């Protein structure tokens, strides 16, 4: 996504958890604890993947995108489909996205990554054009007003 920034990758932490699980130091109860809310979010807003669950190896993982930020007001903390994120990123200045992978078979879940989205990420890229656009619109307005006189 164009405005994606400050990406934090949690794959190291995930691998550590999986190592502990494979070594028998943690049980399925510890790692397969997806809440009913998370599973509902996965069902209704989740992004299916073709990656197998690392625990049960019988279901594919679903990615859930949670959004946080002051601008979201009552929507903060809700799950959104991947398709909705670019739209939000163009309307809001900045919000945080947390991506969680979930297995609907065995309830395995883990944070995958987090990042920021929003129009603030466009500064620098469109600095010149946005100013030109504003000037252009102003110029057109002046010309229209002059034409009316």
Which residues bind to Zn ion, rule: CB under 5 A?
Answer: 53, 55-56, 59, 103, 105-106, 108
How many whole angstroms separate alpha carbon 95 and alpha carbon 111?
17
Q: Half-sphere exposure of 55 toward its Cβ, with a 13 Å CA cutoff? A: 25
User: To the nearest whole angstrom, how small is the minimum distance from the Cβ of residue 58 to Zn ion?
Assistant: 7
Q: Nearer Cβ to Zn ion, position 11 or 58? A: 58
User: To the nearest whole angstrom, how small is the minimum distance from the Cβ of residue 62 to Zn ion?
Assistant: 10
How many whole angstroms separate alpha carbon 54 and alpha carbon 52?
6
User: To the nearest whole angstrom, how small is the minimum distance from the Cβ of residue 139 to Zn ion?
Assistant: 60
Q: Nearer Cβ to Zn ion, position 97 or 102? A: 102
How many whole angstroms separate alpha carbon 64 and alpha carbon 140?
45
Two tokens, residue 90 = 């163009």
Q: Nearer Cβ to Zn ion, position 61 or 92? A: 61
């Amino acid at each position: 996504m164009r405005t994606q920034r400050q990406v934090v990758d949690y794959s190291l932490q995930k691998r550590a958890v999986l190592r502990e699980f494979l070594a028998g130091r943690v049980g399925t109860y510890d790692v397969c604890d997806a809440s009913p809310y998370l599973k509902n979010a996965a069902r209704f807003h989740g992004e299916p993947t073709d990656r197998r669950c690392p625990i049960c190896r019988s279901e594919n993982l679903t990615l859930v995108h949670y959004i946080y930020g002051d601008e979201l007001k009552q929507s903060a903390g809700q799950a959104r489909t991947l398709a909705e994120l670019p739209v939000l990123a163009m309307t809001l200045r900045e919000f945080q996205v947390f991506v969680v992978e979930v297995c609907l078979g065995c309830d395995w879940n883990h944070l995958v990554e987090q990042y920021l989205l929003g129009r603030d990420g466009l500064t620098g890229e469109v600095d010149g054009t946005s100013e030109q656009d504003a000037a252009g619109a102003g110029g057109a307005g002046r010309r229209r007003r002059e034409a009316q006189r």
